Structures are given as structure tokens and as C-alpha cells.
Chains A and B, each alone.
Chain A
Amino acid sequence: MNDDITSASTAHPAPARRGLGAIARSQMRNIAPFLTLIVLIVFFSVVSPSFATLGNVGNILTQVSVTGIIAAGLTFVILCAEIDLSVASIANATGIAVAYFTLQDSYVNIANVPVPGWVAILLALVACSALGVVNAAGLVVIGIPSFIMTLAMMQIAAGISALLVRGQIAYKIPALISTLGSGSVGGIPCIVLVAAFVLLLSHLVLTYTRFGRYVYLVGSNREAAENAGVNVKLILGAVMVISAVCSGIAGMLGVAHFGSAQQNEFDTYLLDSIAAVVVGGTSLFGGRGGIGNTIVGLFVLGVLNNGLDHVNIDSFLKILIRGLILLLALIINVYAQRLRETSAD
């Protein structure tokens, strides 16, 4: 009864009265990351002459590509208000798998199983999809919270990586992967094009397909989606598989980009990809944000990482600064959610 009063009171923000302030408040999660990005670009351009050069723009684009592919898949998961902590491990395992199925030079002491290049790629894709299916099954069939389920998968995938390379380093990978990961077309690195393609495709799926709409609505109010007859479990399972496949692709290209496949090669990518999604303004509570936000987030992190290399700064301090920026983004994320709820609910 009293609920009715309170909801009635806040229920009429009277569209006519919604001025710029209200719009800014409800768009806070999109505006804040973009402003951050502009401030960072201006700042580094002023303090470092080597920052705002065409060559360095190419550097930044290349540096964020692997993270970008992982973050594209992760965006689906976070939009559903779930999390995937196994992305970096799955990337690593898939990268190692594709090398494992390629003939290595004789000095590399790995008991590998050489197959033709396209078969190796296919097997690697099957492997990462399978890991995604296990994540999905744990989440929707057994009912393990995704945080815990993917924590376990993080360890499992790391274990698979360890078993396949046994402390060795593999260098040979299929030619196609090699081209996509380290080649370039007309001066543009292929890996940047692949990342752009994956991000674009993800954006189209999220914005223009029925599946994409369900992803947003499941994240926005899971119970209401279920009560509307949406197969919530199928959607949640699908996003876990999408995330794993994106990680797998990133893993293969990453191996080509780095020039080798070895254990723990992707460890920093877990934090980077989650940070990219969240810094960009996609809500950890689900239903808000998207690939556009993720791209902004990627560039905030990319510019920050790259820019700190261009200014004379203690390299140990860099780690702390990154942590602080992430904290700031999380605060904005939670705060934007609250602003939106009070203005719309």
C-alpha cells in the first residue's frame, strides 16, 4: 500500500520536465568513460611528444586487439549479470592447443600431434567451445554461480595448458593463424581487423537480433524474462559459450602475435578484459551497456597503458595507477546504476 505511494511519487518524472540534467544523469554510464578517454588522450598528448603520432595510434590499436576480442565475448556475459573468470585461461589453452596440433621444430620437446593446419584450427575451436559448454552446464544445469564455476574452469584450462606444453615453448602454428595474428594488409595489422570484425559482429548481434534483445532483458530482470516465456537457461548457456569461443580466437591470434605458445602467457588479460568492459560502463548488474561501451573501455585502458610508457614514470607505480583507475571506474559504474534507478524507477 505504501509502496504504491512511493512508486507513484517517483513514477512521474514528467517527460516534459526532463531537462539536460536528467538526460545527463541517465546517460552517466556512457558519458563518464568517454570523458575519461578524452582527458587521458589530451593529457598524454601534452606531456609526451611521442604519444600523439600515427605510429603510436597503430601501436595502441594492436595492443588492445587481443583484449578486444576477449572483451567482446565477455560483454555478452556481463550484460546477463554473470561473470567469466576463465577467459584468459581458455585463451591460453586454445593457443597452446593449436600449436600442439602443429608440427614443431625438432628442438621443441613436446609430444605433439601434428595435423593439417585447418584441422588444427578446427580442433582448437572445438576445444574452446567444449570448455564453454562445461561452463554453461555448470551454471545452468547444476546451478553453480558463474563466479565459482569459471574460477574452477580457470584452473582446469590452466591445467590443460600445463599438460600440453609441460613447461616447454612451442613456436609453430598454422599459417592462417600466423597471418591473422602477425600479418598486415595495406599497413593495417590483421589482428586489428579481426578484433574490429569480432566487435562489430558482436554489436550487430546484441543490437539487431532477437538473441541480443533476450541477452539484455535477461540481464535486466531475469525473473520477468522467465515469466515472459524466455528460455533463460538457453540464453545464459549461450553467452558462456560465446565468451569461451571469443577467448579461444583471441588465444590463437595472441600466440601468433607473441610468436610463441607457453604457459601463463595470457595471465594479465583476465583483468584487462574485465576492466575494459566495466570501465566502458557496462553494468555489472546486467542489462545496461554494450559493445560501444566496451570499445571506449578498451581505449581507456589502451591509452593509459601506452601513455604511461611514454611519460617518465616509475614502472612499479604504473601497476598501482591502473588499479586506481579500475577502482574509479567501478565506483562510477555502481553510482551510475543508482542514479538511473532513482531517475527511472
Chain B
Amino acid sequence: MADAPPPILSLVGVSKAFGGVQALQDVDFTLRAGEVHGLVGENGAGKSTMMKIIAGVHADYAGRFLLDGREVRFRSTRDAHAAGIAMVHQELSIAPDLSVAENVFLGTQITNRLGMVQWRRMAQEAESLLARLGVHADPRQQMGDLPIGMQQLVEIARVLFSGARIIILDEPTSALSPPEIARLFSALRHLRAAGRSIVFISHFIDDILSIADTVTVFRNGRKIMTVPAADTTKGGLIQSMIGRGHAELEESYTNDIRLAAPAAGPVVLEADGLCLGRSLRDVSLSVRAGEVVGIYGFMGCGQAELARVLFGKMTPERGSIRVAGRRLRRGGTAGARRAGVAFVPDSRRAMLFHQEPVYKNTSISILGRLSRLFLKPAQERALAQRQIEALRIRPPRVDALLGALSGGNQQKVALAKWLTYPPKVLVLSEPTRGMDVGAKDEVVKIVHGLKAQGLAVVIVSSEPETVLSMADRILVLRKGELVREFADEIVSKDRLLEAA
């Protein structure tokens, strides 16, 4: 942007606290008409909090909020909508049972004078709006039947073409493939040319640099800097994001990585010809003891289903799974656990009991070993105490309610559950999703430790950095098929993305 257009929105000295935690501290922020403004920062840096203030989600904050030079204070998202501000939240918020067209016009159905919905017009307009994002879907189709990336694009389309003049996108690209991202960016450029302002929050710094005009960096609830995108580099941004010498770590993800020579251990996990609807087509793989196999693919390519099948949560239509030579039959997750498979799902909520004490969370998977019929609480607590000390869980009390622990400590409890009696196979689904660089580093260390103990580890992820940083061997999944294997060779993020 050569000349600086006038600011359309500015925040002056805005602070916001949740309970005792200061999420935003004295932040100034300016958004100009016709700019794409990138926001970067680690988890919890305050990016989303600030955007939620702008979008009217949080009404309770300190500081001034100026829109077109006049001070405003939104009480609800309705107020923000009325002022022409719309936001796409990080979590997909769609109505899966409604049609695509209804989702595009959610809350703004096209009606005639009598208030009756004009279905045909709505379908036609939805189709043409989606085509602008390169989505060719039948507008009458049920939303839930679309692949996840397309669902995300439909949600983005709803906001982009809602007529809002300020559009906030929170992690819009996480579920999108590179061609989809390219189409989204071209749509954003059109909107920018039309004078709309766009705020773009992302963990993917490459995406930020390729679309944003201006970049603002957050750290620990404070604004660190605002710079023109052209004047900065990826390394520079990462440096100011983390504020310490962690840049090498991020570097190591992007450089070429030499994969290890094949492991020599015995084959522990063997899957043969797994088929599951449209999600998995004839997937075969084998993992040796002491080997970490990464399975990479774009979101919705079937990798989530593969992880579930390996842990017995879903029964494949065809194909077999063997653990240490023994066939895994339809025994559900309990059968898989007995066979020696452990599973860490992608969300903490799906593996922890927030209202129970720590020791009940760590003992659940080993109760069968501790007792045939009656519980042995003393032993349970002793084992939990050992795990707490080994993993340095804080507070170090077995009776602390899990919900009272911080996120990182909860994560450790989730892992502790499987570590008392190490399993033969560990399946990790999206182990680093939404984590900051430091937390990712911890996970990498834990996985390397387990590998050294001789576990067969399977990491299923749609983030290339995740598999690159941990795996010895990488399998690429595309639309339910294994299309490429990287082993004992040099690999990089580009090559991985290309293969998918």
C-alpha cells in the first residue's frame, strides 16, 4: 500500500482480563480501509480476544473503540453486524443438516414481501457466490455431506459476501488445501480492491506474508509491533512472536529433513487393506518397534478415520489390523487397549474427566491391571503420585480436580494415563494442533522418549511441521488412499505438500 488510507477502526489502550489472567494489556490497533491486516502470535497471545472485542463477543473491556472516528461499544454480535463487522471463528460453526444454500444465507435468507423464503433465488445466488471461491457444490446438497475444507469455504463465503465492510478471519486456512487457499486469497484481493478491510489471523506465517499488507505481532497480551508485510520476513516475525531464541526450531521444520534409515525392530502394528466408505481405500501400513510413522494429509483426507480405525473406534468394512501378530477383532476400544494400542485424540476434552481428581484420570486405562473386581485406591494414588513426579505435573496433588489444572498440565495427565504400563502401539491424532512452539517442542521430546523405549508410534496429522519434526517415515494420504511414502531420504515441507 503506497498511500495510507484513513483508519476505519481503531482501538486505543484496550485491556481485557479473564478472571485473574490479563488477556490483553493496553493494546492500540488500527485498521485501514482496503487493507488486509495479518495478526500473528503464539496461543494465548491475545489475538482472538481482541478480535472478539471488535466482533462484539466480549462487551466487557477497558479502553476505547473508535469506528469511523466515533467511539462505540458493542453489547452483542448483533451490534457489530449492524455496524458492518463480521467474523469467521476458528471453530467451524455451520448447520450440518441444512442445505449448502441455507448455510450461505444463514440468518439472511432471501425472502419476498410476504416473508416467504425464495428457495430458487437463494440456490442460484449461493451457487454463484461459491463459484467465486472456486467451490462447485450443489447448493441443495446437505452441508454435512461436504468435505471439511469445503464446509469451511462455505462458512467463509457466508461472511465474505455478507456485505460486511470489516471481515475478520480467525485461522481460515487450517482446513484448506493449497489450491483452495489460493482461491480464497484471490477472493480476498477482490474484496480489498473494493475497499473492504480484512483481518487475517493465522498460525501459518507463510499465508500471512503472502496475503497481508500489514502485520501486527502479539505476545502475552501485548502488541509487540505493527509493520508493513513487505518490510518483514518469516524469521523476523517468529523472533518477535516468541521473543526468545526459539527460531531455530521453526527453521528446522522448513529446511530439508533427512529421514532416518528404516528401523530394524520387529513389526508391531500391521494394517492390511483397510477400507471404510469414502474415507479409506485399501490402506496398508506396518510400523516397527521403535519407529515413528507420520501419516500426513489435508484435513478430511481420511487421516482422522484411520486413527479411529486403528484404535477400534470404527470398524473397517474390509481389511485387518494385527498388533504383535495377533489379529484385532471387533472388540471396540477396549479390545484395542487390551491388545496394547493406546490412543491420544486431538482434543483434551475427548480424553479427560474434568470433574474428577487427577488420580482417577491417570488410572482409568489400567484399572483392569490393578484389580479384578475391587478397586485399590492406595495403589492408584501411589501410581498417580509417581506419574505426577515423573512428568512434573502441577499442582503435585493426586486429589486435585483435573479441571483446576492448566491446559499443559492436563495434557501431561492425558499422556500419563498410557505411560504406567507402556503400550505396544501409540496412536496420536493431531498431537500439536493449536499448540504454540514451546508446547510443540515438549511433545516432540515425549515422542522421542517413547520411541527410545521401543514403542511403535503412529502420528496422524494435517500439519506438515508436526510429522516432519517427529516421524522417521512419512506416509501421505490423499482422499483415503496412501499415495506416497517418504523413507530414508531427504524431505521438506514443499515436497510433502506437493505429494498430498
Q: Are A13 and B355 in contact (CB under 8 A)?
A: no
**A220 CA to B349 CA in the complex, in Å?**
11
Chain B residues positioned under 8 Å from A209 (CB to CB): 373-375
Chain A residues positioned under 8 Å from B350 (CB to CB): 223-224, 227
Can you add 12 more A-B contacts, CB < 8 Å, to A2-B23, A9-B23, A209-B373? A2-B90, A4-B44, A5-B18, A5-B49, A8-B18, A9-B18, A209-B374, A217-B360, A227-B345, A230-B334, A232-B332, A344-B355
Identity of the chain A residue whose Cβ is nearest the Cβ of B363 in the assembled complex: A213
A287 touching B49 in the complex, CB below 8 Å, given contacts A1-B90, A230-B364: no
Of A12, A229, A232, A234, chain B has the most CB atoms within 10 Å of the CB of A229
Q: Are B375 and A11 in contact (CB under 8 A)?
A: no
Q: Are A229 and B360 in contact (CB under 8 A)?
A: no
Partner among A11, A227, A229, A288 whose Cβ is within 8 Å of the Cβ of B355: A288
Q: Are B333 and A2 in contact (CB under 8 A)?
A: no
Chain B residues positioned under 8 Å from A1 (CB to CB): 43-45, 47-48, 90, 170-171, 434
Q: Mark A1-33, 1 if CB is under 8 A from B, else 0.
A: 110111111111101000000000000000000
**A225 at interface by CB-CB < 8 Å:** yes
**A287 CA to B45 CA in the complex, in Å?**
35
Q: Are A15 and B49 in contact (CB under 8 A)?
A: no
A226 touching B333 in the complex, CB below 8 Å, given contacts A1-B48, A4-B43, A210-B373: yes
A231 touching B334 in the complex, CB below 8 Å, given contacts A4-B407, A287-B355: yes
- Closest Cβ of chain B to A335, distance in Å, is 16
Q: Size class of B's contact patch?
A: 35 or more
Identity of the chain A residue whose Cβ is nearest the Cβ of B364 in the assembled complex: A228
With an 8 Å Cβ cutoff, the count of chain A residues facing the other chain is 41
Partner among A15, A208, A226 whose Cβ is within 8 Å of the Cβ of B400: A15
Q: List 25 A-B contacts (CB under 8 A).
A: A1-B44, A1-B45, A2-B23, A4-B43, A5-B18, A5-B48, A9-B18, A9-B20, A11-B405, A13-B404, A210-B374, A213-B360, A216-B356, A217-B360, A220-B356, A221-B349, A221-B354, A224-B351, A226-B313, A227-B350, A229-B365, A231-B331, A231-B333, A288-B355, A344-B403
Contacting residues of chain B (389-431) with chain A, CB-CB under 8 angstroms: 395, 397, 400-401, 403-407, 417
**A345 at interface by CB-CB < 8 Å:** yes
**B343 at interface by CB-CB < 8 Å:** yes
Q: Are A230 and B374 in contact (CB under 8 A)?
A: no
Q: Are A11 and B403 in contact (CB under 8 A)?
A: yes
Contacting residues of chain B (308-359) with chain A, CB-CB under 8 angstroms: 311, 313, 331-334, 336-338, 342-343, 345, 349-356
Q: Mark B365-380, 1 if CB is under 8 A from A, else 0.
A: 1011001111100000
Chain A residues positioned under 8 Å from B401 (CB to CB): 344
Interface residues, chain B, CB within 8 Å of chain A?
17-21, 23, 43-49, 52, 90, 170-171, 311, 313, 331-334, 336-338, 342-343, 345, 349-356, 360, 364-365, 367-368, 371-375, 395, 397, 400-401, 403-407, 417, 434
Of A9, A12, A226, chain B has the most CB atoms within 10 Å of the CB of A226
Q: Are B371 and A227 in contact (CB under 8 A)?
A: no
Q: Are A227 and B21 in contact (CB under 8 A)?
A: no
Chain B residues positioned under 8 Å from A224 (CB to CB): 349-353
Contacting residues of chain A (157-207) with chain B, CB-CB under 8 angstroms: none
Contacting residues of chain A (318-340) with chain B, CB-CB under 8 angstroms: 340
Chain A residues positioned under 8 Å from B17 (CB to CB): 9
Identity of the chain B residue whose Cβ is nearest the Cβ of A224 in the assembled complex: B351
Partner among B170, B313, B365, B407 whose Cβ is within 8 Å of the Cβ of A7: B407
